[in-house]
Amino acid sequence: MWKKLREVEGEIQAKMLEDFLKANEIPAVTKIIDGPLPKAYFGSSSYFAIYVMNKDFERANNLLNSIKKEESKVKYTVLHEEHLKLGAKMVEFAGFHMPVQYKGIKNEVLAIRNNVGMFDVSHMGEIFVNGKDSTNFVDFLITNDFGNLTSGQIVYTAMCNENGGFVDDLLAYKISENQAMLVVNASNIEKDFNWMINIAEKFDVKLENKSDEYALIAVQGPKAQETLQNLTDLNLENIEYYCFEFGKINGIEAIISRTGYTGEDGFEIYTTDKDGIVKLWKKLLEMGIEPAGLGARDTLRLEASLLLYGNDMDETVTPLEAGIKWAVKFNKDFMGKSALEKQLEEGLQRRLKGFILVDKGIARHGYKIYKDGEEIGYVTSGTFSPTLNKSIGMAMLRKGFKTGDAIEIEIRNKLVNAEIVKMPFYRGSVRSKKKKK
């Protein structure tokens, strides 16, 4: 029998606790307890109940109580006070106290789709690689091609284990032949760093985890460039997609890259100048740029069909199954190559697909998917898209299903009609990467 363990506000909090329990080998399920339909956003203010088996209740309760004792270890970004001044709704996410929304997730999404907005993403991890083997090390560490990049270029990639599963997905910045910056997911910083150290034993490199030293603001939207251009002497037009430059913006030294997680054009600004990043944030507010939180960020990335670690992939999912074969270069050696070659040879048994709900409802992570009464997969991510005014999602489906096929998703004990569609769901102002001549 299942017993209710806790009620928590917000899906982010609920999922974090559920994942924590499962990591400690305690089966757990999360159910929404307000309705009739949940708010359609990651990190909404809906309430969720977490259930465990009767036999696990006491141990689970003790574990969650131990988390409360460790609350003092929650980290705060340098912009934390600025978020509070703006009245942001704050939640704990990946060990940080982060804003989930300000004026409202729908408004924040549409501001970035139509104009420009900004995120505090200082929780992301920055790991630096230095040494004569820097380029060879990173090229072996990741699935994509790092060796052929020139200084100032960036690549999105998977970092795999021996079985071809995701240790993480990340951005690799080539600063020089002897230096690189790897930007990793906040929840994986320690795990990733330890993984890299293990692999680095065979290379002449030095690894430094500088995540606590860096602050990061992402300015996103079709008007991002014209807005930021007023604050820097760099010609932002010269920074191509997935490229970066060192320079000053609003008087602070920074790495400025044309990257983002929204499907729109935009820039990410990395700096170790903590006072400077606060001044930049305030300046951007004065210029009318809308602040946006984790809720909008998750909605925007899903509309653009960008992957979220822990939802759409993890160490049990390969880049081929996750639909990013283009980020796997088999013409070089890398960790997990043999496993991926074998999977490719044998044929994929499952694959990440997009879907749109035909009926009303919100399909959430873990919901079961059926075709003609047979279970064929599960939802990895789902939300309501303010841009499309439709419920959308991604799902890991068994092979044999294609775009246009009708499927059913079990939502609150009811089968809801949906259709497999081609991704991305929405293509915004994001630029294309120019091919090298």
Asked whether residue 161 falls in the same domain as residue 236, the answer is: no
Asked whether residue 259 falls in the same domain as residue 155, the answer is: no
Q: What is the pLDDT of residue 9?
A: 61
Number of domains in the chain: 4
Asked whether residue 255 falls in the same domain as residue 194, the answer is: no
* Residue 186 domain-assigned (yes or no): yes
Mean pLDDT value across residues 262-275 = 98
Q: Name the one residue in this structure whose structure tokens are 């004065």.
A: 286
Q: What is the pLDDT of residue 25?
A: 86
Residue 151 has pLDDT above 70, yes or no: yes
Q: What is the pLDDT of residue 37?
A: 34
Asked whether residue 217 falls in the same domain as residue 283, the answer is: yes
3-state secondary structure of 186: helix
Instruction: Return d(Cα 29, Cα 336) in angstroms, integer.
Output: 32
Q: What is the pLDDT of residue 34?
A: 47
pLDDT tens-digit profile of 202-237? Answer: 999 999 999 999 999 999 999 999 999 999 999 999
Q: What is the pTM of this model?
A: 0.86
* Residue 333 domain-assigned (yes or no): no
Give residue 436's pLDDT band: very low, low, confident or very high (50, 70, 90). very low
Q: What's the start-to-end Cα distance of the chain, in Å?
A: 63
* Residue 431 domain-assigned (yes or no): no
Asked whether residue 218 falls in the same domain as residue 297, the answer is: yes
Query: Which two three-digit tokens encode residue 285?
Result: 């507010």
Asked whether residue 91 falls in the same domain as residue 227, the answer is: yes
* Residue 342 domain-assigned (yes or no): no
pLDDT tens-digit profile of 40-71? Answer: 334 334 567 888 998 999 998 888 777 655 54
Answer with the one of 302, 319, 337 that is the final residue of a domain.
302
Task: Sheet with 89-93: list strands edge to edge.
Answer: 75-76, 96-101, 89-93
* Residue 149 domain-assigned (yes or no): yes
Mean pLDDT score across all residues of the chain: 92
Q: Of 13-17, 233-237, 317-321, give the lowest mean pLDDT range.
A: 13-17
Better-scored residue on pLDDT, 349 or 21: 349
CATH for 142 = 3.30.70.1400
* Residue 253 domain-assigned (yes or no): yes
Asked whether residue 106 falls in the same domain as residue 239, the answer is: yes
* Residue 248 domain-assigned (yes or no): yes
Instruction: Return d(Cα 297, Cα 341) in angstroms, integer.
Output: 34
Residue 186 has pLDDT above 50, yes or no: yes
Mean pLDDT value across residues 73-91 = 93
Instruction: Return d(Cα 201, Cα 229) in angstroms, integer.
Output: 43
Mean pLDDT value across residues 83-100 = 92
Give residue 258's pLDDT band: very low, low, confident or very high (50, 70, 90). very high
pLDDT tens-digit profile of 344-398? Answer: 999 999 999 999 999 999 999 999 999 999 999 999 999 999 999 999 999 999 9
Asked whether residue 387 falls in the same domain as residue 421, the answer is: yes
Asked if residue 129 lies in contact with residue 115, where contact means CB atoms within 8 angstroms, the answer is no
CATH for 377 = 2.40.30.110
* Residue 386 domain-assigned (yes or no): yes
Asked whether residue 43 falls in the same domain as residue 168, the answer is: no
Give 429's contacts (C-beta < 8 A, 6+ positions apart). 221, 222, 264, 265
Domain of 160, in residue numbers: 125-209
Q: What is the DSSP letter of 401?
A: -
Answer with the one of 73, 102, 136 that is the final residue of a domain.
73
Give residue 30's pLDDT band: very low, low, confident or very high (50, 70, 90). confident
